[in-house]
A and B are shown apart, each in its own frame.
Chain A
Amino acid sequence: MFNYDFMQNAFFVAICISLICPCIGIFMVLRRSSMIGDTMSHASLAGITLGLLTNTNPIIGAFLFTALCGALIEFLRKYFSHHLDLILTIILSLSIGTAITLISSGHLKANANVFLFGSILTVNATDMISIAALTVLSILTLYFLYNSLLYIAYDEEAARVAGVKVDLINYIFAILMAAAVSISIKIVGVLVLSAMIALPVASALQLEKGFRTTLLCSIGFSLLSMVIGLFGSYYLNVAPGGFVSLTSVGILLVVLVIKNIRIIMSRLRVR
């Protein structure tokens, strides 16, 4: 299987996704805004279609448009501070509206459908360079902003008092979310991308450990989902997005079952 170039490319991208998505996802989940990931992944479809229309790399198109949508979400928070759901509806209307209009116009120079479900065949050398650059930049940014992002999620007011520029960091985080989405769309696809952002974190949260351990476990679960998902996709000849998503749900179920078995065992021991 690894004799094929496309599989080597797919696994390289899978490792990038496994690193970046849980690192972004953990902050989104803890800020109770994981649905932003879903909205931004759908928004990326508009960026892809714009990229295809202008004959530029769709990953770059997705990154630029999704970053713009992320910044717009932060901007609209000032006007709809207690209505995040409404903001997400506005962004979805803008982006899906753009995507559908462009796809139905018949002017696109390629098929956008492959981005909906993901594909292991379509990752080319240009994509690899874009994805590697975005991954390195994102991880470096996360490393430097780690404590600020952690405190904005844990206690935003305490972060402000400590001198953290919360609004600026929220805009930077929106760009990081855009990077995570852009990296993932080729393999995972737009429709189930939020599974890679939220589900590994959901599984890791069940372990009830500290922040650093939870983050590392999220990356581990994400990597496991991607590897099993890609193998499954190859051997069953199905779209990787769906199978990766199902694997993530499966891992969450296994974690929940093991957790409950341990609880029952400990109760029995007490009796």
Chain B
Amino acid sequence: MLTVDHVYFSYHNEPPYILNDMNLTVHRGDYISIVGDNGCGKSTLLRLILGFLTPIKGHITKSTHNLRYVSQKNDFSHAGFPITVQEILDSYRKLLHIKDKNEVDRVLALTNMADYKNRLISKLSGGQAQRISIARALIGEPDLIILDEPSTGIDRKSQESIYSLLKELNIKYGIAILSVEHNLEMAIANSTSIYHIANGQGHLCSPEQYVKEIMHRSNSAEHTNCSCFTDVSDRTTPGPNEVCQNSTPTSAVSTKEVHHV
């Protein structure tokens, strides 16, 4: 469905690369969470996949054009914008050239937001607004939904509701999900795979494997009081298989979070 093949990228068109020989394949039914430290290139990878940026080297191949994007929102994203939920969804339906007018009601029902059809988006809570963004992404029955930090600015209860909706869409309708995550707990609990980016490279592993690695590193760091996992800046660039095993700083994942999972 989507292949990222030996992709290199730098905002200055020259080394050092933010993304350095990046590889990723997304199949139908996958739920992949992209994790990593701030500034590691998670959102840059999304923007490359969406075509907002162009790789310096390598290729991104999409076998489907039926993909949707749910961008990262902050509390002020819709402040003062005079638009109702109905207008948001119906305008997008028209942009996608979908003639069925019932499509808006269908996606509202899928996301359990039918009662909010005539509300202004600026009057909804962060969680409700995010559900509307997901409803919009469902217009036209997409194969792949790409999300950028879907839980930003949302309370814990709404987060659980959002992730439960994403998981349902993934399992029940086979929609592939590719989501940049800072919320490791939710990523581990809901994803089929974790794609961990560090030092410009990524590695795909199962959530269980990822948890084991984090716990192993946390324990090692506590026992040895060693700083080798808290600072990776002086390390030489590791190979793709090494990244998931060695490069997550303990600051990125607290022991508390992992125990909770």
Contacts and interface: CB of A to CB of B under 8 A. Distances in A.
Interface of A: 30, 147-148, 150-151, 153-155, 157-164, 204-205, 208-214
Contacts of B96: 162-163
Contact of B87 (A148, A164, A204, A212): A212
Nearest to B65: A163
B83 A162 contact: no
Contact of B71 (A150, A153, A158, A163): A158
Contacts of A214: 82
A210 B83 contact: yes
Contacts of A164: 95
A208 B84 CA distance: 10
B83 A211 contact: yes
Given A147-B92, A147-B95, A155-B71, 10 more contacts: A151-B91, A157-B69, A157-B71, A159-B95, A161-B67, A162-B95, A162-B96, A164-B95, A204-B82, A214-B82
Contact of A211 (B52, B80, B82): B82
Interface of B: 50-52, 67-69, 71, 78, 80-84, 86-88, 91-92, 94-96, 118, 120, 136
B69 A208 contact: no
B145 to A, nearest CB: 11
A154 B81 contact: yes
B52 A160 contact: yes
Contacts of A159: 95
B84 A210 contact: yes
Query: Interface of chain B, helix or strand or loop or mixed?
Result: mixed
Contacts of A147: 91-92, 94-95
A164 B51 CA distance: 13
Nearest to A213: B82
Which of B67, B68, B87 neighbours the largest number of chain A CB atoms within 10 Å of its CB?
B87
B84 A211 contact: yes
B52 A157 contact: yes
Contacts of A205: 80, 82
Contacts of B118: 210
Contacts of A153: 81
A142 to B, nearest CB: 14
Contacts of B51: 160
B82 A208 contact: yes
B93 to A, nearest CB: 9
B120 A158 contact: no
A160 B82 CA distance: 21
A244 B80 CA distance: 26
Contact of B81 (A30, A161, A163, A204): A30
A164 B96 CA distance: 9
B133 to A, nearest CB: 8
Contacts of B81: 30, 153-154
Contacts of B84: 210-211
10 contacts: A147-B95, A154-B81, A154-B88, A160-B50, A161-B50, A161-B68, A208-B82, A208-B120, A209-B82, A210-B84
A192 B96 CA distance: 39
Given A30-B81, A208-B82, A208-B120, A157 B91 contact: no
Given A210-B87, A210-B120, A212-B87, A158 B80 contact: no
A148 to B, nearest CB: 7
B130 to A, nearest CB: 13
Contact of A158 (B78, B87, B92, B94): B92
B69 A158 contact: yes
B82 A151 contact: no
A83 B151 CA distance: 30
A105 to B, nearest CB: 45
B121 to A, nearest CB: 9
A45 B83 CA distance: 35
Contacts of A204: 82
A151 B95 contact: yes
A181 B160 CA distance: 50
Contacts of A30: 81-82
A164 B52 CA distance: 13
Which are the 7 A-B pairs with shortest beta-carbon distances? A210-B84, A214-B82, A162-B95, A161-B69, A147-B91, A211-B83, A147-B94
A158 B136 contact: yes
Nearest to A212: B87
Contacts of A211: 82-84, 87
Contacts of A162: 92, 95-96
A180 B49 CA distance: 38
A148 B83 contact: no
A2 B96 CA distance: 48
